[in-house]
Amino acid sequence: MSGQTLLVIDEGTTSTRAMLFGAEGSCLGVEQRELHQHYPRPGWVEHDPEQIWSSSLACARKMVEEAGGAGQIAAIGITNQRETILFWSRASGRALGPAIVWQDRRTAQLCSERKARGDEDWVQKRTGLLLDPYFSASKIAWALQHWPAVAEAGEDLCVGTVESWLVFRLTGGLHISDASNASRTALMDIGSGRWDPDLLALWGVPRSALPEIVDCAGSFGMTLAGHFGAPVPICGLAGDQQAASIGQACLAPGDTKATYGTGAFVLTNTGDEQRLSRNRLLTTIAWQIGGLRSYALEGSVFVAGSLIKWLRDDLGLLGNAAESERLARSVPDSGGVQIIPAFTGLGAPHWHASARAAISGLSFATGRAHIVRAALEAMAHQTSDLMACFAADGAQWETLRIDGGMAANDWLAQDLCDMLDLPVERPRFVETTALGAAMLAGIGCGLFDSLEDAAAMRGAVDLFKPDMHADTRSARLEGWQAAVRGVLARSQGRP
């Protein structure tokens, strides 16, 4: 008789975690390991597949031990950094090269060549994505061109995103990927939920190397007995942002969550409608259960918490991230300071890769509190720009559900609420990504009948209500937009 505890492996970009959940949503334990970032050349970002595997296994083993053995675990759910791609041997299970991480820009040239040929329109219609190095397809094409071990592997080659790699190792050879992760490779027709022959041809990817696409919840396979002392079923799989949407119970069309971590990712549920953005938002599979797909529109802001980290680590303006809240409250406004955090270009709605960050409006009256406040204000400004894009695409927000490391900041939560003029909800338990994976695993192993049933795991929320004069809001947005125009004007002529 198996237990009622759900084990989640959350394999993120900077760390790997395992968490234990009770079926009612309580978090019973966490184990975490840092993941080493490799930057072999400017713009390149790699992870060691063996470290991804060994950290995930070690964290999961610790949690199984804490649960009292494999028999106490009803099911495993896996959630992961998306788009990052791995290459391994089907026969030996050994990696054939490093993992190419989602942030890696080495395929900018490959993407712009195809863009110049006019391929972006049909690619967007079929995948919901843009021709950008962010997605896995161009990274696979690059590895096939540059790494002999990958190019020469033939039928022995397995390619997959992080959850696919973990499942292969956990089960000893099952090669699957769930629809939410597969939808980020730019090789999938997100309408049919299948690998698309035209997209495979565009990037020269052999079908035989790709995993079978499966649902996000179900009975996928058992772990090898040696890993945890006895086999445990793997029953939930989802990319991290989709898992966070599920963990935030964004189950009905219009439901929206925003995760403020290193970057910020906003997803609005569009139900069974695969809506194509006219404002360069992405269309993505939110989840697939029982063969039925739900979709979301997604907007990404490249810089969120990393701006606070930069103020702390590089400028030394903060002792710790939480101090930003006290400093922001210590001044009545930013004193005219605007920060446009375009450190790696501007995302939606501008999509200007060569734009660079700016701090404007400085005077001798400017103190560090004004700069820190301007940094936090930039989060609401960026989200407000995204909200306009979503609205223009017919996805009006009514409430924003926030999470991620930055969401712990009460001042920021209230400022988002004031600037968007929307109620903001913040769950007491903010690890929504892991929670979403636990919910899927719970459905997959039969603890819950449906996502609606599993949503009770989300628990209590704090609610913020808008409290700002419309004139203050519009003055701030005008200041922001003028500063954005300045940044765009300075980047004119750069690609």
Question: Which residue in 211, 404, 442, 479 binds ligand ADP (CB under 6 A)?
Answer: 404
Choice between 261 and 479, CB closer to ligand ADP? 261
Choice between 282 and 413, CB closer to ligand ADP? 413
Rounded Cα distance, 480 and 495, in Å: 23
Tokens of 438: 């636990």
Rounded Cα distance, 489 and 207, in Å: 44
Rounded Cα distance, 286 and 293, in Å: 7
Residues forming beta bridges with residue 237, ordered by sequence position? 78
Residue 241 makes contact with ligand ADP by CB under 6 A: no
Rounded Cα distance, 48 and 95, in Å: 9
Quote the least distance from Cβ 259 to ligand ADP, whole Å.
7
Quote the least distance from Cβ 160 to ligand ADP, whole Å.
22
Does residue 275 contact residue 299 with C-beta atoms inside 8 Å? no
Choice between 140 and 437, CB closer to ligand ADP? 437
Choice between 65 and 325, CB closer to ligand ADP? 325
Quote the least distance from Cβ 165 to ligand ADP, whole Å.
20
Rounded Cα distance, 445 and 442, in Å: 5
Rounded Cα distance, 236 and 223, in Å: 13
Nearby residues of 494 by Cβ (< 8 Å), 6 or more positions away? 354
Whether a cis peptide bond, with omega within 30° of 0, leads into 349 is yes
Rounded Cα distance, 374 and 480, in Å: 10
Chain-centre distance for alpha carbon 315? 27
Residue 308 makes contact with ligand ADP by CB under 6 A: yes
Choice between 408 and 477, CB closer to ligand ADP? 408
- Residue labelled with tokens 């223009």: 392
Residue 322 makes contact with ligand ADP by CB under 6 A: yes
Quote the least distance from Cβ 313 to ligand ADP, whole Å.
9
282-289/358-360 β-pairing: unpaired
Nearby residues of 486 by Cβ (< 8 Å), 6 or more positions away? 340, 358, 360
Quote the least distance from Cβ 315 to ligand ADP, whole Å.
13
Rounded Cα distance, 306 and 321, in Å: 10
Choice between 85 and 406, CB closer to ligand ADP? 406
Q: Per residue in 373-409, is it b (16+ CB within 10 Å) or e — as a string?
A: bbbbbbbbbbbbbbbebbeebebebeebbbbbbbbeb
Residue 414 makes contact with ligand ADP by CB under 6 A: no
Residue 427 makes contact with ligand ADP by CB under 6 A: no
Which one of 107-115, 194-202, 223-231, 400-408 is the stretch in contact with ligand ADP (CB under 6 A)?
Answer: 400-408
Residue 327 makes contact with ligand ADP by CB under 6 A: no
Rounded Cα distance, 317 and 449, in Å: 50
Which one of 32-40, 142-150, 406-414, 479-487 is the stretch in contact with ligand ADP (CB under 6 A)?
Answer: 406-414
Quote the least distance from Cβ 244 to ligand ADP, whole Å.
10
Ranges within 256-275 binding ligand ADP (CB under 6 A): 261-262
Residue 30 makes contact with ligand ADP by CB under 6 A: no
Tokens of 120: 């972006």
Residue 408 makes contact with ligand ADP by CB under 6 A: yes
Residue 136 makes contact with ligand ADP by CB under 6 A: no
The alpha helices in 186-265, defined as continuous H runs, are 197-203, 225-228, 240-247
Quote the least distance from Cβ 307 to ligand ADP, whole Å.
8
Rounded Cα distance, 8 and 429, in Å: 15
Choice between 110 and 413, CB closer to ligand ADP? 413
Residue 81 makes contact with ligand ADP by CB under 6 A: no
Quote the least distance from Cβ 99 to ligand ADP, whole Å.
17
Does residue 335 contact residue 365 with C-beta atoms inside 8 Å? yes
**Which residue has the closest beta carbon to ligand ADP?**
405
Residue 343 makes contact with ligand ADP by CB under 6 A: no
Question: Which residue in 12, 218, 427, 442 binds ligand ADP (CB under 6 A)?
Answer: 12
Question: Which residue in 406, 424, 435, 445 binds ligand ADP (CB under 6 A)?
Answer: 406
Size of the site for ligand ADP (CB under 6 A): 17
Question: Which residue in 309, 352, 356, 490 binds ligand ADP (CB under 6 A)?
Answer: 309
**Residue ranges binding ligand ADP (CB under 6 A):** 12, 14, 261-262, 305-306, 308-309, 321-322, 324-325, 404-406, 408-409
